[in-house]
Structure 1
């Protein structure tokens, strides 16, 4: 996790790609609420480990990451349902037909996961200067729920999902897909793509190793998202912000100071 001097001004870039869940969407809040209010978990005694937000998020993240590696082509909604079942299995909870239904309900909860308070306004500001697109570990139907819900006032120029790509970040294929499609669709080169994300593991390590221009680490300081050990050595970024709102202010200041027009 190394901040390096950016080689380019924000005005150099033409295209912003984003991690969505964790960067634009409060996935920790959405996941925790959906898990803790689901019947099998809500009915557990208050002393149970799964009733602790930090523990359930840690367990969820571990199981999700493992499953993404095991089955990179698995549709994200099905992955969410299976992760839910694995979280319960890890605690010795029987997977009954009722639990199977609850796992599907959890998978469909993604459209209710809220945007961070700064997201929509900041994305509207960034959209004045750049083309915007998600590069997200999600399936198209699930992302459409987010687009028609918390991100309904955000306009994207393109949508790049794990379902279309056939693998999950941090697989380098996801970033190769981004580069090839941005050039083909918009005539924009790799060094003009600004990648903006919360996850070091899923985003900043592969962009560092893939030779991207230094990106933006949106440090939401959440419970999920590894920020220690090996990742500190491998992940590099040029800007570190606590919110997209902070980034939008940096961008507007840079364009005004340099007297450029988007």
Structure 2
């Protein structure tokens, strides 16, 4: 952390959600493990290798289908993980077309009745996002930070999937309830991070809706590649929440940031400390 970093100079925090606030890797691993136990037990037994295999599929799909809803990316990735793990042909396009949506505005849940039994497991994985759990420090930290900043998630998910997560974060702990000021999703924008367009959209909305200027925005995220790299390109300040993810930040020099903390709770403690000193 730079010695002159002052988090109190900012008015809005742009958050990554899955990996920063939510234990994304555990949610993904628990979701793909039953499949891998059947088709590739040796891969299933190694969390790092299983996640690496999965995210190779997911990243490929996000590049190929930038407007596909994230729930549908998950469903398709689950299906392709099975075929790639067994050197089989790619799954039928119905996983990402008929059974799930390929464009903004259609949800996997709306199509569930149309899928056959062999695809149901893939779509169920796509709908699992709201079951992924927050890190223990996340909710108390957000509740405090909400007293000092506009809190704005900028997430690579669809609106329906995020709503389940939002309910958990905002209301599940009675002593730490709060509200996000706004939520911007990949579905709203039509692209996935690390596309700088996602951050440009957030900056435009923050100025229009809250009068917050770019120099008053701080990006708080656990992924250097997905969040801090595009933040660097736009000249945004950033806080790196280094939770030690095994599938992220393989190159620690890919981006710069103003400060680094091991958890969101540690960052909130620093804000509280500096606020008390003023």
Fold-level match, TM-score > 0.5? Answer: yes
Alignment of 1:38-187 (within 5 A): 40-44=35-39, 46=41, 48-92=42-86, 97-152=116-171, 153-187=177-211
Query: Which structure is richer in relative contact order (CA contacts within 8 A, separation 6 or more)?
Result: 1
Q: Are 2:37 and 2:44, in contact at CA under 8 Å, matched by a contact in 1?
A: no
Change (3 A) 1:50 1:18: same
Q: CA deviation at 1:224?
A: 1.3
What does the per-residue CA deviation read over 1:57-116, in whole Å, with 9 as the maximum and x for residues that have no partner?
Answer: 111111111111111111111111011111111112765954411000001111110000
Structure 2 unaligned segments of length 5 or more: list them: 93-115, 172-176
Q: Tell me if the contact between 1:115 and 1:151 (Cα under 8 Å) persists in the aligned partners.
A: no
| Partner residue in 2 for 1:243 | 263
Shift of 1:45: 6.6
Aligned residues: 248
Counterpart in 1 of 2:101? none
- Specify the alignment match of 1:24 in structure 2: 21
Distance 1:165 1:176 in 2: 10
CA contact (8 A) 1:44 1:51 kept: no
TM-score (norm 1): 0.89
Q: Distance in 2 between matches of 1:161 and 1:101?
A: 25
In 1, Cα distance between equivalents of 2:30 and 2:71: 17
Q: CA deviation at 1:54?
A: 1.4
Unaligned runs of 5+ in 1: none
Q: CA deviation at 1:43?
A: 3.0
Q: Deviations over 1:1-25 (max 9, x none)?
A: xx6x376511100001100000000
CA drift at 1:41? 2.8
TM-aligned CA deviation for residue 223 of structure 1: 1.0
Matched, 1:14 2:25: no
Counterpart for residue 223 of structure 2: 199
TM-score scaled to structure 2, two decimals? 0.84
Change (3 A) 1:35 1:251: same
